Amino acid sequence: MSGGNPKPRIHYTKPSITELEIRYATDAAANGWGEHCYDYIRRFEALFREHLGVKHAIATSSATGALHLGMAGLGIGPGDEVILGDINWIASAAPIVHLGAKPVLVDVLPDTWCLNPAEVEAAITRRTKAILAVHLYGNLCDLDALREIGKRHGIPVIEDAAEAIGSIWHGRRAGSIGIFGAFSFHGTKTLTTGEGGIFVTNDDALYERVLTLSNHGRARGETRQFWPETIGYKYKMSNLQAAIGCAQMERAQELIAGKRRVFEYYRTALSGLPLCMNPEPSDTVNGFWMPTLVVDKDAAFDREALLAGFQAENIDGRVFFWPLSMLPMFRQHPQNRVSHSLYRRAINLPSYHDISNADQDRVIECITKLVCARQ
C-alpha cells in the first residue's frame, strides 16, 4: 500500500482479446444463425486441424467433454481402469468416473510433474483400457516411453493437452500423438473461447464414433430427421464461442510467444534461488501455459506465507494442484511420494500475455523475500 491506495491488482491470468475477436463475435451474433449457425465452428475446427497437423477435430464445450467423448468412443466403461498421474486437476479424472471406470492414480516425475512411466507399467492390469497422459502446465509427458508401454500391452495413450497449446514433442505438437487429444479454451488458457474445448484424432474410425456420440447419437449421413442410432452426448461449442476462437487461432503464434516471454523473464530473475521451474528438455518446446516454481526440499519455504504476501501486495495467487488421492472421492495413496511432496513446495505465477516487466518484478520481489536459501 502507498498513501492509503492499493497497488494495481495483478491477475494470475486473463485472456488477450483484441478488436479482431470482437469483430468476429459481433459478426457471429448478427449473422451466424439458420444455415450459417455452424460457419465459425467449421472454420475453427479447420484452423485447429491445420495448426496441430491432425486429420480430425470436433469443437466441444470443454476439454472435459472432449475427454468424455473420446473415452466413450474407445468403449471405456464399468469395470475398466485408466491410469493417470496423481497430480492433476479433477477434470482429467472426472470423465473416467462418469463412464463407470476407475482412475488409477500413480506417482509423477519430480522434474516434469507428469506421469512416471515406470509407475504406469507397474500399475497395468488386465482391466487397464488406457493411459491418460496429462501435459501439466504445458510440461510434456514422456510420450515415447508411454507409447512404447502402451504398444507392448495393447493399451492406447490419450493426451490431455488442455494446458499444452504451443508445446511440441520431438517435432510434433502435443495432442496430435496419442490415439486422441483434448484441449481446453477456458478463459485462463493461452487460447480462449471463454469456455470450450476440442477433440482431435488421426484415427478415422474413432472420429466417426465420437462424431456420432457428440451429436446425441445421430450418425453422419443419416437421412431420417432426429434419428439417433445410440444414446449420445451434447458437448457442442457455440458459433459465438468459435468466432472468438477463430480470431485466437489467427493470433496463435503471437499468444504462445507471449507466454514464453513471460516465462523467460521469471526464469532469468529467479535463477539464483533454490527452486526449479517448468522444464524444456532437448528436442521439445514448452508452451509454458502456467509458469510454476517448485522450491527445493531443503530450502525454507511456507506456501501459505507466500500466498499471504501476494494478497498483501494485491497479487493473485494460485496453488499447485493437490494430489487427487488427497481428495475425499478417491482412495488415499501416500506411497505416491513425489506427488505428495510437490504441492506443498509449489505455486503458479501470474502469467497473462501482456503482463508488464514491472508487474512481474512485483511478483519476483515477493518470492525473493519468502524463498530462503538452503538450511
C-alpha–C-alpha distance, residues 68 and 98, integer Å? 8
C-alpha–C-alpha distance, residues 285 and 271, integer Å? 20
Give the Å distances, CA to CA, from 311 to 119, 154, 262, 263, 290: 38, 49, 21, 21, 19
C-alpha–C-alpha distance, residues 214 and 297, integer Å? 46
Cell numbers for 131: 493411459
Query: Are 295 and 305 a contacting pair, CB within 8 Å?
Result: no
Side-chain-facing half-sphere of 142: CA atoms under 13 Å: 17
Active site (catalytic) residues: 189
Cell numbers for 170: 520431438
C-alpha–C-alpha distance, residues 40 and 122, integer Å? 45
C-alpha–C-alpha distance, residues 152 and 91, integer Å? 28
Whose cell is 493437490? That residue is 322
**Mode of pairing for the β-strands spanning 157-160 and 102-106:** unpaired
CB-based contacts of 13, cutoff 8 Å, min separation 6:
188, 290, 318, 350, 351, 352
